Amino acid sequence: MDPRNLEKQSEPEEPRYLDFKHLPENTERDGVPALNKFSSTLTKGHDFPGAQAMLYAAGVPSKDMMKNAPQVGIASVWWEGNPCNMHLLDLGKEIKKKCMGDGMLAWQYNTIGVSDGITMGGEGMRFSLQTREIIADSIETVTCAQHHDACVAIPGCDKNMPGVIMAFARHNRPSIMVYGGSIKPGYSDALRKKINISTCYEAHGAYLYKSLKSSEEGKFSADEIMEDIEQHACPGAGACGGMYTANTMSTAIEAMGLSLPNSSTTPAESPEKMRECAKAARAIRTCMEQDITPRKLLTKASFENALVVMMALGGSTNAVLHLLAMAGTANVPLTLDDFQRVSNKVPFIADLAPSGKHLVADLFDIGGMPSVMKVLVAAGLLDGTIPTVTGKTLAENIEPYPSLPQDQTMIRPLANPIKATGHIEILRGNLAPDGAVAKITGKEGLKFTGKAMVFNKEHELDEALNAGLIPHGENLVLVVRYEGPKGGPGMPEQLKASAAIMGAGLTNVALITDGRYSGASHGFIVGHICPEAAVGGPIAVVKPGDIITIDAEKNSIDMDVSAEEVERRLGEWVRPKRTVTRGVLAKYARLVGDASHGAMTDLF
């Protein structure tokens, strides 16, 4: 079958999620809107006696609470074995306690997650992106099936955030996101500096290329340095500490008005995070009282805010994928061109990892996200008039917070940025007719030309790096294909490879893929190449030695191959057999759309 005849991705229609249009009659009480308009379907009268019996058994303390109290679902993405998520159950318990103390019934439940840090570079990473859909499905399911009146969701790792917001858009009941918070920085005695999870992968690259050294050369062996880094990079609970995907999404969502002020930059283990839980319980009541629902907050203006914050802070390429999916779920028109438009006008001002030296815990110490947003609102880049979950506008939320200290150097002045425009570039060309996403901070230059080295799976590149087969010297473009949403399947992140390249000092190398990267990735990297190889995109017919040019000034990515030759190669291309034919990944591969539309599974 000629891949060029494949049916094009259709545009999303108006989402038709279950709306519960036939609400109970008693949605108003004494002239005041009743807050239990969904749960009263089960609790009014005696229409559902079995449901009421089970709710009494589950902990409803009285008839009055049964008949009148709103029911709030508290959805934590809690599970043990990952620092990003291991503390979320405790945050949920605090929110439940405060909700119950304020006359609400609160039911705590959790959904699943995958640790990107643990699965990175292995087959387990293929399960990561699809957890976004499972999280959204889970929260939509419990909220609608149990007739909850509102939802407080507590995510930690990066797919968690878009997953809960997509669920909010589907069930459209008053909802708040409480971010689990960022991890504290670690410290390496061998390197004599602060470290984080990204240090592990970059040190591994130096280890493979025998260039790993401590601050006191000779005092520690390479193996001792690696062991020191592994033991101390993650000192406790919280999401990965740089402006990686988790913190990119949490800051973007705060700028959209769906979380409380400073939720995104309050560290996981700080007393302030527990105090936020109490504030969230009060705010969810406000949302119910004022009928503040997610689709009223998920607007083109709020997504514009998300894009502005993403560019200013140097956020992850994964945010492109996730924001597109969030917008698609809420039926908000958002395209790759919007990312490029905002990138063209917003300067990159944050000296944050992975390309900078500071972590989000450091940003909290100088005022956190509200102080940064003050700068952007004052400059007219951020819309302070959007509504938020507090019942106030974004500008009103941040007004009480201090301005950034005059002597801080983490957030550069808009007049003296790290880069005059954003770091996200949307590229198109004969390698990516439907778009690709590049993360180019300017430190790597704006243009790269090199010979193609082709790898049909990420593990092939990892094996070449492990064997030291990627040479210094001649410019090379490493092409990793068949790792897209369908081809992976699961579009795995490739931090192991990108970090190893940085750690090995392979500055003569660019890396391109139809897969994606971790937010911790940096260097001259291009991902989300679309169409992907598995559906017959041009990346499937790149040959070793082809000359590839990536140009961030012209927003292009091309191979020096004529249109006629590309046509000929595509005509001879044979679709590979599916690597997975049963189970969740096979189901995901059948349902998932392309990366340029957010890799959604409910687009049709």
Q: Give the span between the Cα atoms of 183 and 364, in whole angstroms.
A: 12
Residue 374 neighbours by CB under 8 Å, 6+ apart: 398, 401, 403, 404
Contact 303, 323 (CB under 8 A): yes
Choosing from 518, 521, 556, 596, the catalytic residue is: 518
Please state, as a whole number, how many other Cβ atoms lie within 10 Å of the Cβ of residue 365.
13
CA 486 to chain centroid, in Å, comes to: 19
Query: How many residues are listed for the chain in this entry?
Result: 604
φ, ψ of residue 331 to 5 degrees: the values are 60, 40
DSSP string, 60-95: ---HHHHHH--EEEEEE---SS-TTTTTHHHHHHHH
344: its two tokens:
């063209």
Encoded tokens for 274: 């527990």
Q: Rounded to whole angstroms, how far apart are CA atoms 336 and 433? A: 12
Residue 540 is given by DSSP the state G
Strand ranges (E), 356-443: 424-429, 432-439
Angle, alpha carbons 58-64-70 (nearest 5°): 65
Tell me the one-letter amino acid at 504: A
Q: Tokens representing 162?
A: 């878009």
Cα torsion through 264, 266, 269, 272, rounded to 10: -130
* Residues contacting 282, CB < 8 A, separation 6+: 98, 102
- Yes or no: say if 434 and 364 are a contact pair by the CB < 8 Å rule: no
The answer to whether 255 and 326 have CB atoms below 8 angstroms apart is: no
- Residue in the block written with tokens 């990366």: 595
Active site includes 250?
no
**CA-to-CA distance for 287 and 268, rounded, in angstroms?**
25
The one-letter amino acid at 256: M
List, in order, residues 6 or more apart from 309 with CB less than 8 Å away. 251, 252, 254, 255, 315, 372, 373, 376, 382
Q: Are 493 and 472 in contact (CB under 8 A)?
A: no
Q: Is the peptide bond before 400 cis (omega within 30 degrees of 0)?
A: no
Amino acid, res. 460: E
Specify the 3-state DSSP secondary structure of 144. helix
Q: Is the CB of residue 414 less than 8 Å from the CB of residue 349?
A: yes
Nearest to 234 by CA among 195, 267, 207: 195
* Cα–Cα distance for residue pair 18/137, rounded to 1 Å: 13
Q: How many helices (H) and strands (E) does the chain have?
A: 22, 16
Please report the sign of the dihedral spanned by the C-alpha atoms of residue 257, residue 307, residue 409, residue 415.
negative
Residue 203 tokens, joined: 């040190």
Q: Which amino acids are annotated catalytic?
A: 518
